Structure 1
């Protein structure tokens, strides 16, 4: 059980930075296309915070499901 939790957290940690950058780039480009203007630094920072918040949940869910598929359900003992 401890191995399963550690492997979920390690994989989620490794995926966090690339996933948050990818979400951030997509959201900034979408917002620029939508408003047809350059974004201010405050808007860009807001999109970065939003991307980080979303990527936490996305990475944890993906990591849990991936480890569940690879190792199976963790045993109770």
Structure 2
């Protein structure tokens, strides 16, 4: 027997804004990581580990002026 649950969220306007910002950051980080992996593959380099990819894409990106806004979004949430 399989059970399925459906949940519906009704975020407040401020929660919508926070969700949009978080999802936007996630999309940018994912696309940056994908690009790094594809470039490495095209160059014949070995697979980049998750830890190294996170360091390159996220940690280093937060230090650049173009991606400094990534530091504004919490990775954990405000609870």
Return the TM-score normalized by structure 1: 0.45
Higher relative contact order (CA 8 A, sep 6+): 1
- Structure number with higher helix proportion: 1
